[in-house]
A and B are shown apart, each in its own frame.
Chain A
């Protein structure tokens, strides 16, 4: 069959592109096992000492803790706000839904550095700069768009009469949302939450303007460690991040099949 040849070449190209994109990840993972005190490929010998170094370094541990708290808090707040906003925008509770949607999604379009500078000025002016709450608020602003977008996408596939049916069968507004609407938008919700979480976990440009030394997050720490001279502990912490992200994605996909809404 002649049609097999183009298919094969397409497959080959796809594999090449994939490899090109994934090689840096592989490099980081391999480098993290090197016994040398500098990054090198292929790794010289195999050791877990860099993992040990990272996981026993209080600076790293505090940064991981900061990042996790920040990501969890901002994702949770974004979920509540994002779902509520998406639902109201979808039901057209207010006039000008399109304009409001664009406005809420704009942090995705505006360069992050600009958002960072703007927030710095704003929080300095209002005198709230330095508080951890400021970081959370900033991260909510940059993560809400992901949740809004994916929840709006799954709402658009929702038949409104399904909610009406629930109301007619005796469910009040909240019960209807809990038993009917929420389960139906769950895939979009999970996808949005994952993106929000990952976005918060890896954000540098906004965080760097707002975080004090004590509030340093993991990506900022990695960023500054690289500046001061690279050793494989950076590769080790990066590898841990990669593995954690992959695991979360895998579990979420199994749970909801969310990829349809990403």
Chain B
């Protein structure tokens, strides 16, 4: 086990830069996710760490060992693929034993460690089965057992849960988290699913356009995004623009969103990002609340979603628990939206 360091890693295809200078460090035993839309370069970084792609520049270190140009088999890594990539012609036992055999372990030791790994993923007794005889979830657990059995220095996951259906995915998420914390292996996890990234990781790196926009604890990513991309990518926040006035955002038309953004000078063009759950809907006037009209209402079981149109024409989406009083509001009614200045994320408009 060791830490993973990337220093200014670049990947270019012709003139297109797919990864533009990625630098970060994953501490020993830490779980870091790279999160971003498809094509953002997250998988490219993972494949460069694995040695399946050669970086165009920069260096990659596992522990203190420089591995930038080493082939995958010289890196001591474990990789779990989206497609599982089990060896279809081998039994579960032989799949899991593959890495151990390459390391020339004693047969008794191989048997012991394969069984140990299968036990960890709760597949004891499945050793003699073939991959095709297993369900998708079981196959992915075999893939995990295969990756951890040789005790890699770094564990890599390439969207491992996206081929599974929703209920199985939640179950596997818990399984994965438990496994990783038990083993305390340095882990790099690539996904486009933000819930997955936020719930599993010690830190999340949000990627866009080949650049890691922000690498931070999940809470910080969610509550203190550094730029508009991160703010709008995580969750589906309301986004309104206006001009700064005394640390608050003036939307015009007498509408002011109170915020704590004193660092932005008066007159700065800025945007406010407001989480749907941060807005409180009231049917009577409240001091400092935004007045608007319900434009749409949709019921989804536990929640009712209201679209509220403000006087400026801007629309805000609000989630209300379906048991709350506000859930009974119908389109056309006038409402007041209250929110705590602390819950408003204000960022200067990017040019």
**In this complex, what residue of B is CB-closest to A164?**
B52
Expressed in whole angstroms, the Cα–Cα distance for A166 and B79 within the complex equals 10
A170 touches B52 (CB 8 A): no
* A172 and B71 within 8 A (CB): yes
> A-B contact count, CB below 8 Å?
65
Let me know if A162 and B85 touch, CB within 8 A: yes
Q: B156: shortest Cβ distance to chain A, in Å?
A: 8
Whether B83 and A161, one on each chain, are in contact in the complex, defined by CB atoms closer than 8 angstroms, is yes
How large, as a class, is the contact surface on chain B? 20 to 34
B contact set with A: CB distance below 8 Å: 50-52, 71-73, 75-79, 81, 83, 85-89, 98-99, 102-103, 143, 146-147, 150
B97's closest neighbor in chain A, by CB? Answer: A169
Flag if B102 contacts A164 (CB, 8 Å). no
Is there contact, CB below 8 Å, between B77 and A162?
Answer: no
Q: Is the CB of A171 within 8 A of B79?
A: no
Give 1 or 0 for each of A175-187: 1 = CB within 8 Å of chain B CB: 1000110011000
Number of A residues with CB within 8 Å of any CB on chain B: 18
Given A171-B73, A171-B98, A171-B102, is A166 in contact with B87 using a C-beta cutoff of 8 Å?
yes
Are the CB atoms of A170 and B85 closer together than 8 Å? no
Could you tell me if A165 and B79 are in contact, using CB atoms closer than 8 angstroms? yes
Residues in A whose Cβ lies below 8 Å from that of B51: 167-168
Cα distance, A171 to B97, chains bound together (Å): 12
Interface residues of A in 157-208 (CB under 8 A from B): 159, 161-162, 164-173, 175, 179-180, 183-184
Contacts A164-B52, A164-B85, A180-B87: A169 and B102 contacting too (C-beta < 8 A)? yes
A184 touches B71 (CB 8 A): no
Q: Which residues of A contact B102 (CB under 8 A)?
A: 169-171, 175
Residues of A within 8 A of B143 (CB): 165
Contacting residues, chain B, for A166 (C-beta < 8 A)? 87, 98
Q: Which of B86, B88, B89, B99 contacts A170 (CB 8 A)?
A: B99
16 contacts between A and B (CB under 8 A): A161-B85, A162-B87, A164-B85, A165-B81, A165-B86, A166-B87, A167-B71, A168-B51, A168-B73, A168-B79, A169-B73, A169-B98, A169-B99, A170-B150, A171-B73, A179-B98
CB-nearest residue of chain B to A184: B89
* B87 touching A167, Cβ below 8 Å: no
Q: When the two chains form the complex, which single residue of B76, B79, B98 contacts A164, counting CB atoms closer than 8 Å?
A: B79
